[in-house]
Amino acid sequence: MKLFKLKIVTPKGIYYDGDVEILNVRTSNGQLGILANHLPLASVLEINEMNFVVDGKRKEYAISGGFIYVDKLETTIIANAIESKDEIDLDRALKAKQRAEERIKTRKDDVDLVRAEVALKRSLARIHVKQELD
């Protein structure tokens, strides 16, 4: 399979910079599989799971939204945050899910509902990535 360059950048710096076989992400327009020589593309990334294949091995990540730009030479992801399966603390993610669900359920005036819903999406993505194939 033909390789292409993937660069993932976060506010902390370059998270990943290397060649991959395929990249799977969820954008605001739906799920995408990116291969070498993909048509140019710019899109918003949703809070969700993503993965890519390197040397025949799939690497799983939870991504907290961002932006993807695909051109002939490189695919760049600018992510708010990203965590690999190994970096995810399952207990922390489960507690974050519980807190977010409680905030949404109570709907008090001082609770930012949108922020609670985003926190819930992030925690669910982390939990799913961590528990997949474990």
What percentage of the chain reaches a pLDDT higher than 70?
Answer: 95
Residue 129, sorted as left (phi over 0), alpha (psi -120 to 50) or beta, turns out to be: alpha
| Global pTM value | 0.85
DSSP SS3 for 131: helix
Beta strands 4-10; 22-27: pairing state: unpaired
What is the model's pLDDT at position 66?
96
Q: Distance (Å, rounded) from C-alpha 13 to C-alpha 81?
A: 11
CATH, domain range 90-131: 1.20.5
Q: To the nearest whole number, what is the mean pLDDT of the chain? A: 91
Q: Distance (Å, rounded) from C-alpha 97 to C-alpha 11?
A: 24
Question: In the chain, which segments carry CATH 1.20.5?
Answer: 90-131
More confident residue, 132 or 72: 72
pLDDT band for position 117 (50/70/90)?
confident
Topology (CATH) of 4-84: ATP Synthase; domain 1 (2.60.15)
The DSSP result for 63-104, as a single string, is: EEEEEEEE-SSEEEEEES-EEETTT--HHHHHHHHHHHHHHH
CA 10 centroid distance within chain: 11
More confident residue, 48 or 134: 48
pLDDT mean over 81-99: 91
